[in-house]
């Protein structure tokens, strides 16, 4: 046995022992073989032995692809009545409600960037003058709860058309006043129920629900619905997201 092979052997055993220390991982090590096979079937090469996280991330990407295939642009999320609206509507963010960002509506300008023809910033007055639609839909949270609310604003595809966004691109990304960021696939951006929302329950969006605007998509989980949007960009380069980069599924569709 050459010294190189010996070193490799030691490294593999060390890594395996490390994995075996964690009882949860030990229980599942048998499964890794199966997962590895699946991952190879999806064309992703594994560079590290026992890199369970890499396999799981690869499968999450595979899951994005499956959702892209399943997504039907004509399938509509159910709509509800006033009586179904949840009061008070739950607040949820990566900080507590009193830390919700305060945005000065007077000075606010929505920035546009990337593959958009007309990238002039928008003030709130002009945004609020856009054709207004309302819908009562179910907000589904990845944490295992859902709540029905009423959001109003402009159909996002209409907005994208007005600014001359290149809708052949793959992604639309969002940057938010609280440091949050996320991105969505173009077919969902163009879905008829995707709203750039300025109101909640008939009132201007309060700070806790995302003033000055949020992207409301009843076809995606809550963490895909960005609040406090300050910049929208269109791109072909995968932009990721706050929770997505930590491990939540990127497509996150319903």
Q: Which stretch binds other proteins (CB under 8 A): 9-17, 141-149, 172-180, 231-239?
A: 141-149
Angstrom distance (rounded) from CA 15 to CA 187? 42
Residue 144 binding other proteins, by CB under 8 A: yes
Residue 59 binding other proteins, by CB under 8 A: yes
Length of the chain as a residue count: 254
CA dihedral 244, 247, 86, 200 (to 10 degrees): -10
SS3 for 179? Answer: coil
Closer residue to other proteins in complex, CB, 127/217? 217
Q: How far is the CB of 41 from other proteins (least distance, A)?
A: 10
Q: What angle do CA 175, 251, 114 make, to 5 degrees?
A: 40
Asked if residue 135 lies in contact with residue 200, where contact means CB atoms within 8 angstroms, the answer is no
Interface residue with other proteins among 20, 65, 72, 97 (CB under 8 A) is: 72
Residue 43 binding other proteins, by CB under 8 A: no
Interface residue with other proteins among 70, 97, 117, 237 (CB under 8 A) is: 70
Residue 249 binding other proteins, by CB under 8 A: yes
Residue 24 binding other proteins, by CB under 8 A: yes
> What is the residue-wise DSSP string for 98-142?
GGPPP--TTT--BEEEESBS----B-HHHHHTS--EEEEEEEEET
Residue 92 binding other proteins, by CB under 8 A: no
Which tokens in the block code for residue 196? 């750039």
Owner of token pair 């990721």: 240
Residue 79 binding other proteins, by CB under 8 A: no
Closer residue to other proteins in complex, CB, 142/204? 142
Phi/psi for 102 (5° steps) reads: -100, 115
Residue 26 binding other proteins, by CB under 8 A: no
- Return residues touching other proteins (CB under 8 A): 24, 27-28, 30-31, 34-35, 38, 55-57, 59-60, 62-63, 67, 70-72, 75-78, 138, 140-146, 218-219, 243, 246-249, 253-254
């Amino acid at each position: 046995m050459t010294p190189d092979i010996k070193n490799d052997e030691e490294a593999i055993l060390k890594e395996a022992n490390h994995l075996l220390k964690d009882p949860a991982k030990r229980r599942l090590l048998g499964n890794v073989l199966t997962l590895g096979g699946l991952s190879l079937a999806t064309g992703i090469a594994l560079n590290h032995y026992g890199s369970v996280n890499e396999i799981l991330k690869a499968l999450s990407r595979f899951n994005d692809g499956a959702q892209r295939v399943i997504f039907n642009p004509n399938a509509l999320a159910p709509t509800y009545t006033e009586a179904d609206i949840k009061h008070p509507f739950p607040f949820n963010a990566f900080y507590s409600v009193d830390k919700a960002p305060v945005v000065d509506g007077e000075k606010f300008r929505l920035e546009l960037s990337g593959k958009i023809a007309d990238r002039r910033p928008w003030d709130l007055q002009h945004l609020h003058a856009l054709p207004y639609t309302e819908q009562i839909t179910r907000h589904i949270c990845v944490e295992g709860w859902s709540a029905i609310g009423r959001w109003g604003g402009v159909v996002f595809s209409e907005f994208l058309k007005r600014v001359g966004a290149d809708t052949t691109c793959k992604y639309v990304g969002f940057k938010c006043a609280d440091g949050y960021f996320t991105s969505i696939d173009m077919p969902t951006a163009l879905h008829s129920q995707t709203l750039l929302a300025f109101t909640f329950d008939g009132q201007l969006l309060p700070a806790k629900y995302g003033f000055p605007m949020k992207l409301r998509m009843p076809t995606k989980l809550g963490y895909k619905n960005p609040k406090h949007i300050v910049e929208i960009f269109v791109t072909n380069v995968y932009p990721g997201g706050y929770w997505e980069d930590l491990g939540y599924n990127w497509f996150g569709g319903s």
